[in-house]
Structure 1
């Protein structure tokens, strides 16, 4: 493998997008196996996928998944400051994106609100897989937008011989991050042990100008500048796990903890104190006789709690206690047809306690059957068919709170989903991949029952107790190209919703008691409604990796990507909110023996397509660079690195962030670190 393959496919410059758009491929990485979308272990997939691992993960790493992944094609971030940033895929956020840990749902509260962090530090991940689009329905109807799966080997899935591990420290950035992480694994070929730990602290984020945009300043007169107040925080975690291996499988257990405390930039006096405890079990039995050749089991139980604290007093406490279990069984081949059938069950109890609670206590139970079949129809044509049938029941408990009088009866939904995929090899260089999917998603408890002020986001949210299932048709088509020196993709996607449940601004302002007030009132909160509307999403994604030259001065490559998404509320004709604009990225890569470097440009256009009640965002162009040096000390391998983001110190406001007019992204950032493996 070329040393250049350490870099995952970053961004497509406009010139390459125009000149080389015919050369495409929707797959971003060279890895031979994508676990999340590929239980059958094919080396090529119809689904558009991305993998981040190795040195590329080191360069991208942030404390939150949204910031770590936001430059992948089709992936943006909900950015609520450096401590809370969730991935958004193709304009889909919240419960439409499934975040998994080693294939099992995380059961946190990050989909409920933009200020709720994903309780996982990217420093723990060995690999992150992203599946774009509804082809990930094996993991639930809520994966209509895609799946993000973090893999950390806390339950070792392969035998371990001897002792090995690694560690990392880094310092710097626009928030003066201080972080350290390490792991160690030991085994004798049968028993394997894994231990890891991490700690991250960061200060208020530095920005180049005013925190509030000029348009927002005209409304509220805020003049704060150079820093985002109350954006500091910390997060700590650790895990211990082990497994037993034999010739035909393994079984293992793990336990991990996460603790965090961070400020909400939307409210100067609000902080969030978060903790999560997670137990997991995993097992796989292979080489079976009979109808199934292997069976895989994954189970996770999570206890989650976070407290929103204002002026030292706890205003609201959120708790989520539940489990998720999956069984996948791979059946024996029927001629050219291979497949997996499975069962998934989940149960959770979510509670919001306190006078400022805006959702009632709710028990959610679900069970699903799923299937994925692959048929190698011809030497050139591979076909896949997936299906899922899921039943969900929600049982709210208003607890005597008049605010939740609409939460007096349970709701049940049965959702069915189908996905068809094809991969056709045109020549040794060209291939064509496509998917067609129908997906149904049951509404979540907050989409049904929310009613009240959410202090941390500064909004008043109202659910729809009569909400129906979300239904959509989606299609994906990509042309792929790979001649070893030059590879890439260009693809289009389209999703049509007959009922899309969006969090949409009503244009009204309410006080904390739900009474309508003027926008200028001191207690005014913008009202946001969970509303079912007809909607269309469509867009383009492209990427390109071009090996330019091998010279005495090193290898040179150009790596580029582009994406564009449009989303429309067909009931009103308005654009849907928080959609990223056209984004273009390109980077020149250099590699000489132990040295590696990159210089890149990221551009995002202005986003003027916003609903009437929202403000538009300006475009930006930032300069980024990195330098790394690999060396060995004894039996250990080291990487020393320095990276700079937004080196031209531009004001960056993500159109996908609900706080874009109050909280810009970081200004000039320079961070250095060292990573070791032994």
Structure 2
């Protein structure tokens, strides 16, 4: 029997006190999203989710799958639509990538627009917390979520291999099936995958509407979140040619979804996306560059908002993103990458609820990242990016968009520096400091109309200037064999944070110009919100620790502790900024014995009363979860059967980070069973 050589350290106590409902991740040796050079010591706060951890945390949306990871919360618009938030920053401040390249959609425009991606297809998720604009552009001023799916195989495949998965249950009675098949002869590799997911209306404890907004005469739905059912279907085919020094390949994927808007009981969203990818890397080159990597993606996206079967608004977005990264030969002590990125997207919204004009956005950027191993203990990094963006609107004769009469151009610059200093073989200190600029998006510039999903009349400002931020991170990391984790603080100061702020005025909800239409949400005035640049400050703490308790004939036991806390304030008004997750704490007891694995999780979120005057507060909650898995073999295949229970005490959970906190609570008690095989 092996016990701890010493009691819980003071740092582990600090982790417990500062921790969150995020499941702690073991620090990974390499996160290519944060550093294409592959250095094992990263100054940037980052984490990885893969393997059994990803399998057991998987939900129907990317936002819910990652919700609770250190620094990550969820926009939560019901089970059909949920996007990740990092350190209180959402929308076009967080870049969602697929294999390092952006896939265009409309999820950043509105909370009811889903990310067209089923997490069942993901092999690995890398999360960069804090500015990643240096490599991925101004829209990564808050962080990056990069997903990997091997649809373009990057390594040689010999023979046939694959995986399959079935799931049933959960609070929305999910029925899902997914399969993947890969084959190759050591040079040519082929990838095929397909998935299908259906889910019913979400089961919830109590009323959907909170007591703050519930009408005694019309309390609304109870125990079910009305119009939250839906389906997701998808598939892909890809192939590549691999050789000793690289690979080149192409892929095509299709996503098709249909789900209800929980903010509008009679509205459904039908979504389609086609994505074409190309990727290639050549290594071990002679000359000034040792490797060259090219990624290209083209996306054609459309979703329609239907009411009683009729299409009322259609959103379209198509375009491409191309990246080139070249790693140069060492220049004395310097190792580095230079690169270029080109983007174009053509967005249009047609119909009654189109609150933004048709807009084309083009950008081109150059970037460089250099690293220097200054001493045996000290590693330094420095980089910069220059990006030019042109936003070209077309009002198409719509008087509401008269202000969108000319194109706007922005040149944004970003600088970033980092240092990792190894204090002892156990302790290291990581610090980063960066200056980031972000060009305003087309909707921040030109929006003018009622946005039913947010319950606001949104008005853009074509005279907005760039968003500018200075951000820093400082983290203490440790690994003594018994404890492995980190505790860190972050701070960001925005000179021109573009927020959607209440004006105090009311605007008419809709002007259809057609008396034949009569919608529940057309009547009455709604509050006006203006996109405005203000000074803002974000700061907080993130911590995680994996404590190996003991290992004996009864199995291996470990305790995972993690936590985060974020504060965000409008410095011009002194008010707190909206939709910021509160202090969150998590502890998970993990057990492994031969073919068995199990864990028990207790997650706690404090109440959130730090909010603008026009927002409602949320109560705290504590939830209990558990899972059990068993591995077995059938012939040459490996199988994992698992049972997962969540919110077993059936607590009412309302996310402070969700705009629908008073209308759409999170899931109640649920149990899900699943079976996964690999061969």
TM-score, normalisation: structure 1: 0.95
2:515 corresponds in structure 1 to none
Q: 1:529-540, aligned counterparts within 5 Å? A: 529-540=530-541
Compare 315-324 and 481-490 and name the one that shifted more: 481-490
Are residues 1:585 and 2:586 paired?
A: yes
Question: What is residue 132 of structure 1 aligned with on the other side?
Answer: 129
Aligned to 1:451: 448
The superposition leaves residues 363-387 of structure 1 with CA deviations (integer Å, 9 ceiling, x where unpaired) of 0000000011010000000001121
Cα distance in 2, alignment partners of residues 176 and 197 from structure 1 = 20
Question: In structure 2, which of residues 102, 108, 114 is the aligned counterpart of residue 117 of structure 1?
Answer: 114
Which segments of 5 or more consecutive residues in structure 1 lack a partner in the other structure? 1-11
- Report the Cα distance in structure 1 between the residues aligned to 2:392 and 2:584, rounded to whole angstroms: 42
Q: Report the CA distance between 1:136 and its aligned residue.
A: 4.9
Distance 2:576 2:322 in 1: 38
* Aligned pairs for 1:565-644 within 5 A: 565-644=566-645
User: Does the CA contact (< 8 Å) of 2:237 and 2:252 recur in 1?
Assistant: yes
2:665 corresponds in structure 1 to 664
Q: Pick the aligned partner of 2:104 from 79, 103, 107.
A: 107
Task: Using the TM superposition, give the Cα deviation of residue 555 of structure 1 relative to its aligned residue in structure 2, in angstroms.
Answer: 0.8
Contact 2:483 2:547 in 1 (8 A): yes
Partner SS state of residue 214, structure 2 = helix
The match for 2:525 is 524
Deviation at 1:18, TM superposition (A): 5.8
8 Å contact kept, 1:326–1:342 = yes
**Judging changes above 3 Å, is the alpha-carbon distance between structure 1 residues 533 and 354 closer, same or farther for their aligned structure 2 residues?**
same
- The reply on whether 1:187 has 2:188 as its aligned counterpart is no
Deviates more, 1:292-301 or 1:484-493: 484-493
Q: Is the 8 A contact 2:15 2:543 kept in 1?
A: no
Distance 1:21 1:71, change over 3 A: closer
- Distance, in Å, in 2 between the alignment partners of 1:18 and 1:287 is 43
Larger displacement relative to structure 2 (658-667 or 503-512): 503-512
Contact persistence 2:393–2:406 (CA under 8 A): yes
- Structure 2 CA distance, aligned partners of 1:367 and 1:153? 27
- Paired residue for 1:225? 222
How far the C-alpha of 1:30 sits from its partner, in A, is 4.1
Distance 2:500 2:604 in 1: 28
Q: How many angstroms does 1:218 deviate by?
A: 5.3
CA distance in 2, matches of 1:158, 1:216: 55
Give the deviation of 1:510 after TM superposition: 2.2
Task: Give the distance between the partners of 1:33 and 1:416, measured in 2 at CA.
Answer: 27
Q: Does 2:370 correspond to 1:370?
A: no
What is the CA-CA distance between 1:539 and the residue it aligns to?
0.3
Residue 36 (structure 1) aligns with: 33
SS of 1:403's partner is helix
List per-residue Cα deviations over 1:452-492 (Å, max 9, x = no partner). Answer: 11234433211111111000000000000101121121100
By how many angstroms is 1:231 displaced? 0.4
Describe the superposition over 1:214-273 as per-residue Cα deviations: whole angstroms up to 9, x where unpaired: 111159953321111000000000000000112221110000000000000000011000
Q: 1:391 to 1:136 in 2, by over 3 A?
A: closer
Does 2:61 correspond to 1:64?
yes
Change (3 A) 1:220 1:259: farther
Equivalents in 1 of 2:108, 2:312: separation in Å? 20
Which SS does the other structure have where 1:66 is aligned? helix
The match for 1:394 is 391
Question: Measured at CA, do residues 310 and 21 of structure 1 come closer, stay the same or move farther in structure 2, by a change above 3 Å?
Answer: closer
- Larger mean CA deviation between 456-465 and 182-191 belongs to 456-465
The aligned counterpart of 1:3 is none
Once residues 10 and 141 of structure 2 are traced to their aligned partners in structure 1, the CA distance between those partners, rounded to angstroms, is 29
Q: Is the 8 A contact 2:30 2:39 kept in 1?
A: yes
In the alignment, what sits opposite 1:314? 311
Match of 1:417 in 2: 414
In the other structure, the counterpart of 2:546 is: 545
SS in 2 for 1:118: coil
The within-5 A match list for 1:355-504 is 355-504=352-501
Distance 1:17 1:490 in 2: 8
SS at match of 1:134: coil
Looking at structure 1, the residues matched to 11 and 476 of structure 2 have their Cα atoms a distance apart, in angstroms, of: 18
Pick from 143, 148, 151 the counterpart of residue 145 of structure 2: 148
Structure 2 unaligned spans of 5+: 1-8, 513-520
The CA distance in 2 between the partners of 1:45 and 1:270, in whole Å, is: 45
For 2:287, the equivalent position in structure 1 comes to 290
1:79 and 2:80 equivalent? no
- Contact 2:24–2:69 (CA under 8 A) maintained in structure 1: no
Partner residue in 2 for 1:561: 562
Structure-1 separation of matches of 2:321 and 2:657: 30
Question: How many Å apart are 1:344 and its aligned residue?
Answer: 0.1
Q: Is the 8 A contact 2:16 2:561 kept in 1?
A: no
Confirm whether residue 96 of structure 1 aligns to residue 97 of structure 2: no
Distance in 2 between residues matched to 1:628 and 1:608, nearest whole Å: 39
Once residues 16 and 643 of structure 2 are traced to their aligned partners in structure 1, the CA distance between those partners, rounded to angstroms, is 33
- Other-structure match for 1:653: 654
Please say if residues 421 and 435 of structure 1, whose CA atoms lie closer than 8 Å, have aligned partners that are also in contact: yes
Q: Which has the larger displacement, 329-338 or 449-458? A: 449-458
State the Cα distance separating 1:149 from its structure 2 match. Answer: 0.4
CA contact (8 A) 1:595 1:630 kept: yes
The answer to whether the 8 Å contact 1:135/1:437 transfers is no
1:107-135 CA distances to partner (integer Å, 9 max, x unpaired)? 11100000000000000000011000014
SS for the counterpart of 2:52 is helix
For residue 491 of structure 1, give the secondary structure of its aligned residue in structure 2.
strand
Shift of the 626–439 alpha-carbon distance from structure 1 to 2, 3 Å rule, reads: same
Quick one: distance in 2 between partners of 1:337 and 1:215? 59
In the alignment of these two chains, the number of paired residues is: 661
Equivalent position of 2:349 in the other structure: 352
Aligned residue number for residue 517 of structure 2: none
| Secondary structure of 1:138 counterpart | helix
Query: How many Å separate the matches in 2 of 1:21 and 1:383?
Result: 29
Aligned to 1:333: 330
| C-alpha distance after superposition, 1:498-539 (max 9, x if no partner) | 000012233433222489xxxx99423232221111000000
SS in structure 2 of the partner of residue 216 of structure 1: coil
Q: Is the 8 A contact 2:12 2:545 kept in 1?
A: no
In structure 2, the CA distance between the partners of 1:338 and 1:20, relative to structure 1 (3 Å rule), is farther
2: distance between equivalents of 1:578 and 1:388? 30
- Measured against aligned partners, the alpha-carbon deviations of 1:1-23 in whole angstroms (never above 9, x if no partner) come to xxxxxxxxxxx99983367879x
Q: Flag the 1:613–1:590 CA change in 2: closer, same or farther, 3 A.
A: same
CA deviations over 1:149-174 (Å, ceiling 9, x no partner)? 00000000001100000011100000
